[in-house]
Structure 1
Amino acid sequence: MTAVAVEEESFFVELARARVHTRVVGQGSKTLVIVPDPPNLIEHHRDVIESLARDFRVICFELPGFGRSQLRNGARFSLELQVEVMAGVLERLAVRQAILEMSCLGALVGLRLARLRPELVERLVLAQVSTQERMRTWAKGTDVCGLIHTPRVGQALVSLGRRFIARHWYQAALPEGTDGRTRQRYLQPTLQALREGGDFELASAYQSLRRAGALDYGDIRQPTLLLWGRADRTHEGASARDLLHALPRAELVELDGCGHFPTLEEAGRYEERLRAWLRG
């Protein structure tokens, strides 16, 4: 197989209300947009990006308020703003009919974008996500004493404890028994970004989810591949089955031995399954 030249340099897409850290690789006829699940970053997806770039134009960017992407000009974090920013990035990069891959709470942004701007999104690949209602319940259950959901208090708490939260998250999100070297491979890029001033607006994301209006799943007509890692201890007792039944054109693949990051933990299996699904 011919090696693909990889563009190592990332760049920023400058929008009115956000500065979005982005990387674009590959020249394929189909565009695959990968949005990391915070606190994951573009760096976490490097190997997957380079492999998929053989067949796709791959665009990877971090949501504003996370990693090296920032809100600007007094913009307030909300799901609606995230949709606006995502649409702006795709328009700036001349994207139409993309395959959009997102995870967890970010996947709720992807669903809204697919409903509001169907010309931008041809297909959805969504990992570790259920309906908005179920995800709201999950977020509430992860918030001790409701502090993260409390405006200003939550932001202050996350700001002070974001490195501790990142360590705890990777400890719980990866399957039980994950070796220390693997866990550090996830953790260290995140800690480095935080040391360099990277954002981690977890409290704002939780609060935005609580404020968000209802989502009409019946209006989302794009074929959707739902992925669920069964070894994800952060979502014990949950599944994507509610979302499977809510979406008109969804398919669910459950992966034994995978935690919260099935597209990264089992990248080879994911790529194989993705290509098979696209062949239809």
Structure 2
Amino acid sequence: MTASVTTPRLSPPARTAHRHLDVDGVDVFYRESLPDRPDAPVLLLLHGFPSASHQFRRLIDTLGRHYRLIAPDYPGFGHTRAPDGFTYSFDRLTDVVEGFTARLGLTRYVLYLFDFGAPVGLRLARRHPERVAGLVVQNGNAYLDGLSDAARAFTALTPDTPGAEQTVLDLFTLPATRAQYEGGTADPALVAPEGWLLDQYFLDQPGRKQAQLALAYDYRSNLAAYPDWQAWLRAHRPPALIVWGTRDPFFTPDGARAYLRDLPDAELHLFDTGHFALEDHLPEIAPLIAGFLDRVGDGPATPAGREAS
């Protein structure tokens, strides 16, 4: 007699389109999930350094059937190609992302702010507050409280600082890129090597290190803008979900808690991991994002107003 076998029910991953879009002469590459319903809430995924949209592949696979996840590569990152003479600054990255959203006709979205995605996304939010349905903040700093000593020293560098260029260039090496992914994780075996290897491949492309060097020197403009971003948060009170790796060597958990000063109804979850928290905590973080998108949708959300660990 043959024993019966129960076939597990598997939820298929989302279908993802990989596209290019011209934005004022910049060839922007982006990934976009194809959800089951056309009116699905939009989550605009803004990546960090030294990565690109590929850092969100697993999140898109996990949530993309139910929500429209869109992840562009900035100029100087990933598959996006900028013309010769492009000025690499956070204002210009925001210009391109702003043009990208306009070309796609995005009028309402939740912003995912990670690392560089915070200065880009908060600039975008100030330009178009009416489009922001909510914020998902993951190790995306907007407060001096959240800068580690290493981050403060790095952001103080200028082209005139002795040895500054070499200090910055050392961050673009394979050991440094790998350390950004594995640093702070309880189990580095949970971090797939493809992420940091692909990041390094793009960093090693012609012209990319000079683009990143320019952005490193421009990072101080973000610190100068912190008070304006905080004022915007207080004025508009967007619904917010904050998820944060507490062992991030750059952005400390004090930066996560600081958001609660201006967004007291935000939901805060802290995770015992490093900078790229999605790498080893996707199973815990993805349901939080899904729940937040369900609450927010295209209209006002009901904030949870609590901190969890």
Whether the TM-score (by the shorter chain) exceeds 0.5 is: yes
Q: 1:44 aligns with which of 55, 60, 65?
A: 55
Measure how far apart 1:143 and its partner are. 2.6
Measure how far apart 1:6 and its partner are. 1.8
Per-residue CA deviations over 1:18-50 (Å, capped at 9, x if unaligned) read 332211121342111112222223223222112
- Runs of 4+ in structure 1 displaced over 4 angstroms? 134-140, 151-161, 195-198
TM-score, scaled to structure 1? 0.82
CA distance in 2, matches of 1:53, 1:268: 15
Measure how far apart 1:57 and its partner are. 1.3
Is 2:217 the counterpart of 1:207?
A: yes
Measure how far apart 1:142 and its partner are. 5.0
Is 2:43 the counterpart of 1:35?
A: no
Query: 2:259 aligns to what SS in structure 1?
Result: helix
CA distance in 2, matches of 1:50, 1:2: 10
Contact preservation (8 Å) 1:16, 1:73: no
Aligned to 1:167: 178
Query: 1:24 aligns to what SS in structure 2?
Result: strand
Is 2:273 the counterpart of 1:258?
A: yes
Identity of aligned residues (%): 23
Aligned to 1:24: 32
Q: Tell me the C-alpha RMSD between the 2 structures.
A: 3.1
CA distance in 1, matches of 2:159, 2:254: 25
Q: How many residues are aligned here?
A: 274
Q: 1:74 to 1:19 in 2, by over 3 A?
A: same
Which stretches in structure 2 are left out of the alignment for 5+ residues? 1-9, 296-301, 303-309
Q: 1:52 to 1:77 in 2, by over 3 A?
A: same
1:233-272 equivalences in 2 (<5 Å): 233-236=249-252, 238-247=254-263, 250-255=266-271, 257-272=272-287
Counterpart amino acid of residue 22 in structure 2: E
CA distance in 2, matches of 1:177, 1:64: 32
CA distance in 2, matches of 1:14, 1:102: 23
Per-residue CA deviations over 1:175-206 (Å, capped at 9, x if unaligned) read 15413x73523322222333454835443223
Q: 2:118 aligns with which of 97, 107, 124?
A: 107
TM-score, scaled to structure 2? 0.75
Which stretches in structure 1 are left out of the alignment for 5+ residues? none
Aligned to 1:81: 92
